[in-house]
């Protein structure tokens, strides 16, 4: 199996959920981003990289990680052209893992959340499987056929949204609402709130990029 990297960033963290979610998972590297350092410390995670301009984390916490052996601190000027999360994701991509898991990328700031979902495009182009997870959602992008195991769903609702202007020839099998070579167009909500009805469901697409969201109510 390939390397796995965890990025924990500064959005909403539901600690009981995250502790349970990470309990059976191992990562080759952990990247904590700005305020995500506080969450990493509370979760007692071993951090390999601390990344950001550190304007949202206490001086006490950043000082702790700066003096901690084995932690590489990558500090940026606040006057920069990318969010801390994007900089951390670029670092993770440069390490060429097989899988990147991002926690803390959602919350009350809709602008940050939308930007973080869009960031999933960069690792997709490198064929790096990347998922953004919170208590209620698992979000990822696909530009190829995919199979969903009903027993491994994050939640019962599966929504498919076009990231590109069109996503052509989508066929859905094993879903409550199947499709046969349908074209999704940006601005349509037809892919919202489907359900997997078979043990395994298939998403077959001809071209384009889909955002897939496995959601709990």
Hey, what domains does the chain have and what are their CATH numbers?
4-135 (3.40.50.10240), 146-215 (2.60.120.320)
Going by DSSP bridges, is the β-strand pair 99-103/72-75 parallel, antiparallel, or unpaired? unpaired
pLDDT tens for each residue of 32-64: 999 999 999 999 999 999 999 998 888 899 999
Residue 201: closest CA among 146, 131, 152: 146
Tell me which residue has tokens 């892919």.
191
Give the tokens for residue 175. 């879903």
Full-model pTM: 0.94
pLDDT digits (tens, 9 = 90+) for 88-141: 999 999 999 999 999 999 989 999 999 999 999 999 999 999 999 999 999 999
């Amino acid at each position: 199996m390939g390397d796995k990297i965890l990025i924990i960033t500064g959005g909403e963290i539901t600690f009981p959920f995250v502790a349970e979610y990470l309990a059976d998972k191992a990562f080759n590297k952990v990247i904590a981003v700005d305020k995500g350092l506080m969450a990493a410390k509370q979760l007692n995670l071993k951090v390999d990289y601390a990344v950001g301009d550190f304007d949202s984390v206490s001086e006490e916490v950043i000082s702790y990680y700066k003096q901690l052996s084995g932690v590489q601190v990558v500090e940026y000027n606040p006057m920069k052209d990318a969010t801390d999360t994007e900089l951390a994701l670029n670092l993770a991509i440069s390490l060429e893992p097989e899988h990147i898991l991002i926690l803390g990328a959602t919350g009350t700031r809709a602008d940050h959340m939308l930007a973080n979902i869009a960031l999933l495009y960069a690792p997709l182009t490198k064929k790096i499987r990347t998922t953004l997870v919170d208590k209620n959602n698992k979000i990822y992008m696909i530009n190829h056929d995919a199979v969903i195991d009903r027993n491994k769903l994050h939640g019962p609702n599966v929504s498919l949204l076009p990231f590109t202007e069109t996503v052509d020839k989508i066929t859905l099998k094993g879903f409550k609402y199947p499709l046969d070579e349908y074209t999704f167009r940006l601005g349509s909500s037809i892919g919202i709130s489907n359900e997997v009805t078979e043990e395994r469901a298939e998403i077959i697409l001809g071209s384009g990029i889909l955002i897939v969201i496995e959601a709990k109510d």
